[in-house]
Amino acid sequence: MTQAKMKIKKGDNVVVLTGRDKGKKGEVLNVNLTTRRVTVQGINQVKKHRKPTQQAPGGIDTIELSLNASNVALADPKTGKATRVGYKNLKDGTKVRFAKSSGETID
């Protein structure tokens, strides 16, 4: 089975489309290609109760859980709104991503 390609990369700014964090923006911290899930900074936070160990004290931590990649969209660099992603080849032969709504290149 081939690995799925995703148009969202680590470090991208995204907008959440559905769920309790709908409309919020954040930066992608982690992308899992096999499960098609992304972790976004400050989004989908939960409290995790941890038992104390010899290395770390116990307590209640706040962590971000992953979201399905279909629930987030890339934020347009020009307007900040959600946009789709396309690819185009520049004159020098490099392939770049661009925002379909404004035409701005991403990266």
Does residue 6 belong to any structural domain of this protein? no
Does residue 5 belong to any structural domain of this protein? no
Does residue 33 belong to any structural domain of this protein? yes
pLDDT at position 2 is 66
Task: Using the structure block, give the residue that is written with the tokens 């995790």.
Answer: 48
Cα(16)–Cα(18) distance, rounded to whole angstroms? 6
Does residue 3 belong to any structural domain of this protein? no
Residue ranges for the chain with pLDDT beneath 50: none
pLDDT at position 15 is 97
Which CATH number goes with the domain that contains 42? 2.30.30.30
Coil, strand, or helix at residue 70? helix
- pTM here is 0.84
pLDDT at position 107 is 75
Provide the percentage of residues in the chain whose pLDDT is more than 90: 92
pLDDT at position 22 is 96
Domain extent at residue 86 = 13-50+60-106
Query: What is the identity of the amino acid at 71?
Result: N
For 34-94, strand residue ranges (E) read 37-40, 45-50, 59-64, 67-68, 72-75, 82-83, 85-89
How many separate domains does the chain show? Answer: 1
